[in-house]
Structure 1
């Protein structure tokens, strides 16, 4: 797994604002159990491109796992707004489901 992380980090050196690469690296960190590093890369994506909808679901789930329920709720809400703006109803429905599971 560390080999994939290193490859993604090298790719990011050349293209540090690439949301796909940051997202992929964050997911690798999740698999490796490094929630803090994953959160950093998910949050970087939100800074670089708030319209990158995939980030919201995974960051929300990470926040849930680490006990930050209120932060997760806020992320799901922002993600639903971003998905709606992008007319991405599939992502909207996933975010809404995660949100409802947490709130209700």
Structure 2
């Protein structure tokens, strides 16, 4: 486990409701090539905060990288919807661009 991941896990133990921390844990696992674990933490992030838009982006990206394009598209469509509901036009645009590149 990397030092950064260790620190993030400690922060998560203190506040498991912080989506920023679970998102950070997901990204660390993704950097290490641990796709399934990264996806699990991205799902955890979205359970904590369904409008944590960049978790949808990363989930779609990871799913697409491992050839799970239909799941990626579904995650990205949900991300666009959540970003629009949250009024985050920038996130909606970035997620839409990734979705278009997969379609």
* TM-score normalised by the chain length of structure 1: 0.95
Shift of 1:23: 0.5
Aligned mates of 2:60, 2:77 — CA distance in 1: 10
Match of 1:74 in 2: 74
Two-structure CA RMSD over aligned residues (Å)? 1.0
- Secondary structure of 2:73's counterpart equals helix
Match of 2:39 in 1: 39
Match of 2:2 in 1: 2
Aligned mates of 1:18, 1:51 — CA distance in 2: 13
Match of 1:88 in 2: 88
Aligned mates of 2:33, 2:102 — CA distance in 1: 22
Match of 1:59 in 2: 59
1:23-70 per-residue CA deviation (whole Å, 9 max, x = no partner) reads: 111111111111111111000111121111110000100100111100
* TM-score normalised by the chain length of structure 2: 0.96
Aligned residues: 103
Unmatched 5+ stretches in structure 1: none
Match of 2:13 in 1: 13
Aligned mates of 1:102, 1:65 — CA distance in 2: 10
